[in-house]
Amino acid sequence: MKFKFWGTRGSVPVPGASTLHYGGNTPCIEIRTSQNKLFIIDAGTGIRELGNRLCNENFHDDINILISHTHWDHIQGLLFFKPFYSKDFTINIHAYNSNGMNVDHIFDTLMSPPYFPATKEVIKTKTFFKELEGEKTYSFDDFKIETIKVHHSKGTLAFKFIENGKQLVYMTDNEILYEHHKDEYPLKAEIIEKNQDLISFCKDVDYLIHDAMYQISDYDKKIGWGHSNNISLAIFAMAANVKNLILFHYEPDYTDEMIDELIKETKNYLLNNESKINLIASYEKMELNI
């Protein structure tokens, strides 16, 4: 499978000179299976440019969009995804049915005055809503998707994609749990104890894409906000024995230079702990083939 990052930023889009390298669009990743089936994870603002490309390249197979959860930064690009306005496409939106709301509630909410000028009638594509649940496996021929609920707002899901013996986990937004003490690194034993279910889910995977919203020095002001710091993530990844760790969902106030610092500290931590994990910092348009 191949995957490409169209948005790597958390919370809110931050275009501008200080975010040119890692990018300012909110979460969106394109996955192509070995059979060239298309899956899109999350519909942050990065999905707009992906939609333009699909229209230009005359892509006519089904489009599957998986929504990890419906916080704004994960759905705010949806109405600007051009394939919705063309009869040529069939789009399946897969999302968790949270608080008893059917997943088509996403459109009812986004397309309601006074927030948007048009109602759902402008959608020309065939659109289907499919409910996802946690701790389940969904099969699309030889391509499998496993789900698990994470430590964020109710019903937020992580996904594990499995094909030809390769495994990729997308786990954002997630707060790795431990008791934080200012100016101290977390204890590995405590991270393992408090995050066992998620560590097992990520065990031995080829790639883990994970929320790395904060550098640990900023974390004491953000405890309980549902996001992780770089050092707790490094420990989590070591405990799960992942091969490649991809940093994702950056804090919107972080400039490229601040993200460079976050990466440097994470790399040093992994080296000092004799970890062989390959650390990768996601940036817009980054492509990987596994």
Is 73 a binding residue for Zn ion by CB under 5 A? The answer is: yes
Tally helices (H) and strands (E) across the chain.
8, 14
Q: Give the chain's largest Cα–Cα span.
A: 57
Contact 145, 137 (CB under 8 A): yes
Cis peptide before 211 (omega within 30 of 0): no
Stretch near Zn ion under the rule CB under 5 A, chosen from 47-55, 67-75, 126-134, 198-206 = 67-75
Asked if residue 42 binds Zn ion (CB under 5 A), the reply is no
CA 118/CA 89 separation, integer angstroms: 20
Stretch that binds Zn ion, among 35-43, 71-79, 122-130, 253-261 (CB under 5 A): 71-79
Do the Cβ atoms of 210 and 174 come closer than 8 Å?
A: yes
Q: Which is nearer to Zn ion, 69 or 82 (CB)?
A: 69
Candidates 9, 37, 48, 71: give the one binding Zn ion (CB under 5 A): 71
Which range, of 72-80, 184-192, 193-201, 257-265, touches Zn ion by CB under 5 A?
A: 72-80
Q: Coil, strand or helix: which one is 188?
A: helix
| 146 belongs to the binding site for Zn ion (CB under 5 A) | no
Give dist(CA 85, CA 82) in Å, integer: 6
236 or 248: CB nearest Zn ion: 248
Q: How far is the CB of 235 from Zn ion (least distance, A)?
A: 22
Restricted to residues 147-176, the positions that interact with Zn ion (CB under 5 A) are 173
Q: Which residues bind Zn ion (CB under 5 A)?
A: 10, 71, 73, 173
